[in-house]
Amino acid sequence: MDELDLRIRNHVYASFVRDGVAPTPEVAAAALGSDAKWVEDAYRRLHDAHALVLQPDGTEIRMLNPFSAVETSYHVEAGGRSWFANCAWDALGIPAALHADGRIDSACPDCGEQLELEVQDGELVRGHGLLVHFVVPAHRWWEDIAFT
């Protein structure tokens, strides 16, 4: 990953955390004083490098792990804002990335019952009894990151 792609990646993350919206290549290009087509190509390179995740066959951002740019069943309150996460791991990752307390609302995929977790000062203070399951082994996580 070269320095310019890294600059774009860091700009995209900062914009998302500030605005709650993943910038399109056009918006990012305008902010960076760059060319939209060049930024679009950079988005694809960052996707290939697993630095962000694009929607299939497009340049719209789907994931800025641990954040999700689209609505999911993992709702997180942290840092005075609401977010969506991509999975259980990312849901706990949002308070970690923001260095903030957080509250997570999700649902058991078996029975649909609402599940609540809470992190305070880095410790899980609610939801200790819950179980987490990884179906996909680590070496295959990026084969289909949306499923993982």
Tell me if 125 sits within 8 A of 134, measured CB to CB: no
Stretch near other proteins under the rule CB under 8 A, chosen from 27-35, 37-45, 54-62, 105-113:
105-113
The yes or no reply on residue 49 touching other proteins (CB under 8 A) is yes
Tell me if 132 sits within 8 A of 140, measured CB to CB: no
Nearer to other proteins (CB atom), residue 38 or residue 120: 120
Which residues, including other chains, have CB under 8 Å from residue 82's CB and lie 6 or more apart? 75, 76
Least distance from other proteins to the Cβ atom of residue 110, Å: 4
Tell me if 66 sits within 8 A of 90, measured CB to CB: yes
- Which residues of the shown chain bind other proteins in the complex (CB under 8 A)? 1, 6, 9-10, 13-14, 17, 49, 51, 65-66, 87-99, 106, 108-111, 113, 115, 117, 119, 122-124, 127-139, 141, 148
